[in-house]
Structures are given as C-alpha cells and as structure tokens.
Structure 1
Amino acid sequence: MKPQSKLKYVLAAGAIAFGFPQGAFAQNTIKVGSVLSVTGPSSFLGEPEDKTLRLYVDKINAAGGVNGKKIELVIYDDGGDANKARTFATRLVEDDKVVAMVGGTSTGSTMAMIPVFEEAQIPFISLAGAIEVIDPVRKYVFKTPHTDKMACEKIFEDLKKRNLTKIGMISGTDGFGASMRAQCVKVAPNYGMQILIDENYGPRDSDMTAQLTKIKNTAGVQAVVNPGFGQGPAIVTRNYAQLGMGDIPLYQSHGVASKSFIELAGKAAEGVRLPAAALLVGDKLPESDPQKKVVTEYKQTYESATKQPVSTFGGHAYDGLFILVEAIKRANSTDSKKIRDEIEKTKGFVGTGGIVNMSATDHLGLDLSAFRMLEIKNGDWNLVESGS
C-alpha cells in the first residue's frame, strides 16, 4: 500500500459477512474521518495520532459503540502535503460521507482543509497547534492542542518570574513556527519582553550555527526562545550546546513535546524548558490533580499497546475523539449540525491537554492553566516548581 493511499479502517461489526444488506450496515455505523501525516516529515506527530484513534475506536466499539452504533473510522495519510490533505478532505465529504472529522496533523494541512468542511457543514476537530485554526472562530472548526499564542504567554510568564526580559528568537519558517513567532512578537510587550534579535531557519536546514552565533554575539540577550517543531528545534538545541551557550536559558515550544525530541537533541537537551500538557508528567502530578487519572490511564494504555513512549500529539487525538464521542451521545444523533452544536457546548471535559470548556466564541476551551512548564533533567520531563 502506498503511503498516501487510503487507510480505510472499517471497525463496525461484520454486518456484511453476516448477510445484512449494505444499507443496514451504513445506518448502524457512525462514519468519522481523519487526515493525518502518518508518513513524511511530520510523522512523529501523525503516527501517534493514528495509533491513538485506531486503538480507542477499537475499544469504544468493543464496549458497544456510541448510542448502540459502531464507529467506522476512515483515515487518509497526507504525508505532510497540504494539497493532498485538501484532496482527502474532499473525498471524506463527497465519497465517504463522514459525519465528523478528527485530524489535521499540521497547521498547513488543517488550513487547507478548513474550507472543505466549513462548506460541507461538517464538524472538524483539528490536532494542529497554531491559533489561526480557531481565531477567528469558524462555525464548524474546533481544535484540541494549546495554541502557539498560549505557548508564548506561558514562556514569557516563566521568563518574567526569573527576571529575564531581554530575549533572542530563532524560529522555523514552517506554518507553526512562523505563526508562533508572530504571536510571540505580538504578546511580548504585555510581559515586558524585549526581542533583541530575531532569526529563522528553513525546514530543510541542517545547521543553525550561523544564526545562533549572531544571537550569542548580541549584547544583553538573557534567554532564547525557539518557536518550531520537527527536527529543527533538536538541531538548534545541539548547535546551542556546541557553541557553549548553555549559560543562557533556552526555551522550546510545545511542538517538541515528545521523547523523540530528547533523543534527537541528546545531552544538549538538559536544562531546556518548554510548556506542555500534563500528560508528559502524569506520574509526577499530585493525586488531587483532576487530570491525573486521565493522563496516567492513557499513557498506560498507549504504551502497553504500541510499545512506544507516549506523546502529547497522540493525546490531542484522544481528546478530539472523546470530545466528539461525548457530543454524539448528547446529540443522540448522527446529524452533523446537531453534533457541531454539542461539541460547542463541551464543558468540564477532562482530557490529556487540560479541562475543556468551549463556547460560541471559544472553539478550543483551554486556558493557560492547562499548560505545565517543564524542564528536561536527566533525559526526562520534570515539572518546574513555581518561582524556580
């Protein structure tokens, strides 16, 4: 099977095998679509999303489905190509007749698909990071990951506590990196931050020494912030250490919140801080934390099934799927418009990313408290103590 081929995953009970007519089969299932970057440069995001959706749809169906109907999950792999993502989105609407969509690994792919689902009036829960996915609010578009704007605010909040206000920036030119850079520039004055130098790198760049040398030689820089995802931030982190810049705090974004970043960056990752979901430090949360049960159970289930370390990216897919499932239950219907209305009414949903409270003006439903500031110590994630 080609990487970009359809990965159709029919999880309904074998109605055809038992002689039921195809019409009855269709009526007794709930078709949910997904377009993910399972292969390609964003596969470290898309692969755990794909595995999470398949794993939990299986579990939901084994437990009787949703309102007595099995979920039929139709997944396409866009390979990180936004044009392919749009093509697959059209196919999900026109050919597969899905009632809702959970997917969109990257900001670029998500933005390419939004017009398709908006026009078709089918709810789309994106797994991409940039704020532009839900700002401005579009009637049928929602998302589960914290926004890049929130990441900037959480980083600046932490910098302010450390009395560090003069920063250098180095950001990726990809959709997420460019969007987060713009958000950081926008909100920096609110936190008293001065951006003394602003560098960038392309998605195919394999060495950022030149840009980091400029930052190192800029007088007064007290910390460096790196908006980006993929391999770029790991290269930045390694080059940072090679240039002996370890005495200047380095902050990454939630776009690197997986163990693969630590593995790629190696010992250079020691001391790096980033905002991320509670999922990465579930075992370190107090028993009173409302997310502890959800994140520890997801981590155990995912790692047991896949033999791979959990990442926040799979967690975003978990949240998207269960927000949708709960909305379908409340709607007691597979009508896309009714499902959309119930997604928007989501209140008090405890997910891996935080406690979600959506509204007509907020299609994310998370605030800054959903972010935890983490520091990499001894090759693992650690909660930053307040004020440290």
Structure 2
Amino acid sequence: MRLVFLMIVLTAVLTCAAFALAAEPIRIGAVVSATGPASFLGEPERNTLQMQADALNAAGGLLGRPVEVVILDDETDVNKAVLAVDRLLKKDNVAAVVGPTVSGNSLAVAPKFAAAKVPLVSCAAAEKIVRPVSPWVFKTAQSDRLAVARILSHARKAGYKKLAILTVSDGYGQAGREVLKEAVPAGGFELVADEVYGPKDTDMTAQLTKIKGTAPDAVICWGTNPGPAVVAKNRVQLGMATSLYMSHGVASKKFIELAGESAEGLLLPAGKLTVADQLPASDPQKALLLDYAKAYEERFKVPASAFGGYAYDGLALVAKAIADGNDASPAAIRDNLEKIKDFPGISGVFRFSPEDHNGLDETAFVMVTITGGDFRLLAD
C-alpha cells in the first residue's frame, strides 16, 4: 500500500513537472556587455543571469511556468545595445529587460521602454537613468550620488579641505563628474582642479601634473577599468603622496591586477560583496552575499564581483515582482516592482517607490582600502 501511495505521489510530481515544462515560458530579456571594453562588468552579469535562470527553473520556475532568460551581448557598443533592445521588445516579446551594463547604453535605450510599456531594470550606475523618474525604468546599481556621499564623508573625517577630480569622458564619468561638481562645494570643500581623460587614454601624466600643481588634500578619480589603473600608476611615477579616492566602478580584483602595487593604499566606496566575509553577522545582506559568492565561484571558478550582483538583483527583483503579483505581464511587473520594500539584494536593501526607482541609500556602500593586494573594510 505504501509503495502504491509513493507511486501515486511520484506520478503527480512528474505530471506537475511535465506541465510546468510544457507551459509557455516567462521570457525575460537581458542586454550585457559580455565583450568589449566593459566585459569585466558584463561577463559576470551574463554568468550570473545564466546561473539564476537555472536555479529558478530547478525550483519550478515562476507561476508554474519555466523562465527563459534571453541574454544578448551589446559588445559595449551603444548602437548594438539599441539593436539588442529592439530585438528583445519586437521579436522576443519579453516581459521585462535586465541591463544594459553601462550607463551610456542604458541612457540610450531607456526611452524605448516607456514607448513599449515594458519595464527595464538597468545594471548601470548613472543617476540620470532614474532621475527624473520614468515609470518604466528602474536600476540596481548604486547611484553615483551615494558613492560620492561616502567619499566626501570619509574626506571630511580625514580633515581634507581641498579636493581635485579626474573623470573619464564616457557616460559613467560624465554622470559622476556632474555629481562631484555639485556635491564637493556643497559639502564645504574647495574644488581646486577638474580634469578629464578619454576612455582610451593610456597616460594621464599631464592631468595629474596639473592637479599636483593645485596642492589638493585628496584626488577623486571617477572611471572604470582600465583608465583608473593608469591613473594609479602615473600617480606613483610622479611621486604624488596625495590621497587618491577611486569610484565604485573599480571595485573588483581586476582593478588590483591592473594597477599592481600602485593600488596599495587607495580608497573607494564599494558594494558589500567586496568585503562580505568582513561584515558583522547582523548585516541583513551578509548571508545572501556569502551564498552568492560561493555559488558563483563553484560554477565559474573565479571570484564573484559586485558587477555580477547588479544583474542578480535585476532578475531577482523582476522574479519577486512576478511572484508578488501572481502576474507576468509587463504592466503588472512594473506596478509590483514599485511596491517592493526591504528586499535584501547583492547591491543593498531595496525600497522602491513611485518617487525612487533605485531604492537604495548610502548604506549600500562601505568604504574600503586596498592593502596587500586585497580590499579591507574601513570602520565608519
């Protein structure tokens, strides 16, 4: 009798599984820079999305339906990002899109989502992606303003008065520069130098020499690899002892590899994943961060990065919106994304609202320094 009962249960389970597999999949799009200059950001995003899709389907999918994540590579090219989004919206008929990876590409494609009435959850940092708020556009990466606030808080405690900035001329750098030019003087600091470099520049000695002549207390460099590593090396070559802050755009081991010994002693705001094992046990993100880091490294044989975390959060938030609303339509996903509160992710604890489509605050960042070739958490 027991055997018959077990066979009935097994048959029911297999029938449900077969039904779920036969059901129309929930199709979610993703555009990432898996190749090109920003591949160090986009590759971990692609890997993470693949890992998450497998985990979701192994757990039964969503609403009894399998999840299909259609991942396209924009090669860090804005025109290819536009083409990828067009395909996802018009051909693949996705319910939502995660990405793009970089700010310029995200800003370029954002208007398409309002027109299509499909939600976008960007993985890029620029504040302009969600300010002013577009009803259909969200993002998971911490905003530049939050990172700048962390840097200036540290600089204030260190007693610094005169600050210089050195920013890259791409979308990420331009967005950061705007915030820095506003926040530095507003925070009571003197902005003594404002220098810019190109994303393909291989020597920033000229800019650093000008900065050195203004005698700042500290320099803030805003960019993503490889430029900031060049800045770090040129600083050492020029014998500059001035404190150097980097942006959260270099919060990965790749930056330390590129900068080598020149990275020693640098300061930056970083997502908590960077120093997850150093967090107190009371931190609401710690368990998730450690689980994600372990799963990623076991599958891909390389350490997880905060950049992959942006994609993790994007898909996790879309999945939660679908589950909470019991509805996978684009309009329902949008409405339920906006209602998400106190949701621990990789990038922070998300609290969305109609007025805030990033949903993070300054606590999403911690200040770290680079010591002995690794990141070390600094006390608040």
Give the distance between the partners of 2:325 and 2:51, measured in 1 at CA.
Answer: 24
Q: Which residue of 1 aligns with 2:298?
A: 304
- SS for the counterpart of 2:30 is strand
Deviation at 1:26, TM superposition (A): 8.3
The question of 1:152 aligning with 2:148 is answered yes
Q: Which residue of 2 aligns with 1:142?
A: 138
Structure-2 change in CA distance of 1:285 and 1:354 (3 Å): same
Contact 2:248 2:269 in 1 (8 A): yes
The question of 1:48 aligning with 2:50 is answered no
Q: Which residue of 2 aligns with 1:216?
A: 212
Q: Which residue of 1 aligns with 2:326?
A: 332
Match of 2:220 among 216, 225, 236: 225
Deviation at 1:28, TM superposition (A): 2.4
Match of 2:58 among 50, 57, 62: 62
Contact 1:169 1:224 in 2 (8 A): yes
Deviation at 1:230, TM superposition (A): 2.1
Match of 2:168 among 163, 166, 172: 172
Q: Which residue of 2 aligns with 1:320?
A: 314
- SS for the counterpart of 2:219 is strand
Deviation at 1:27, TM superposition (A): 4.9
Give the distance between the partners of 1:77 and 1:26, measured in 2 at CA.
Answer: 28
Contact 2:185 2:191 in 1 (8 A): no
Give the distance between the partners of 2:315 and 2:90, measured in 1 at CA.
Answer: 22
The 5-angstrom pairing of residues 1-388 of structure 1 reads 27-219=23-215, 221-245=216-240, 247-386=241-380
Deviations 1:117-171 (A, max 9, x none): 1100001000001000000000000000111121111111110011102011111
Deviation at 1:25, TM superposition (A): 7.4
Structure-2 change in CA distance of 1:282 and 1:25 (3 Å): closer
Letter in 2 for 1:353: S
Deviations 1:38-86 (A, max 9, x none): 1000100000000000011101101111121111111111111111111
Gap runs ≥5 in structure 2? 1-17
TM-score, with structure 2 as normaliser:
0.93
Instruction: Provide the alpha-carbon RMSD of the alignment.
Output: 1.3
Letter in 1 for 2:330: S
Letter in 2 for 1:179: A
Letter in 2 for 1:234: A
Larger radius of gyration: 2
Q: Which residue of 2 aligns with 1:5?
A: none
Contact 2:368 2:375 in 1 (8 A): yes
TM-score, with structure 1 as normaliser:
0.91
How many residues are paired up? 363
Give the distance between the partners of 1:140 and 1:315, measured in 2 at CA.
Answer: 21
- SS for the counterpart of 1:67 is coil
Contact 1:65 1:71 in 2 (8 A): yes
Deviations 1:337-362 (A, max 9, x none): 01100001110100111111000000
Q: Percent identity?
A: 47
Deviation at 1:218, TM superposition (A): 1.6
Give the distance between the partners of 2:114 and 2:329, measured in 1 at CA.
Answer: 15
Write 1 or 2 for the structure with the bigger share of helix: 2
Contact 1:225 1:252 in 2 (8 A): yes
Give the distance between the partners of 1:329 and 1:148, measured in 2 at CA.
Answer: 30
Deviation at 1:295, TM superposition (A): 0.6
Give the distance between the partners of 1:271 and 1:62, measured in 2 at CA.
Answer: 44
Letter in 2 for 1:225: I
Give the distance between the partners of 2:22 and 2:183, measured in 1 at CA.
Answer: 49
Ranges of 4+ aligned residues in structure 1 off by more than 2 Å: 24-28
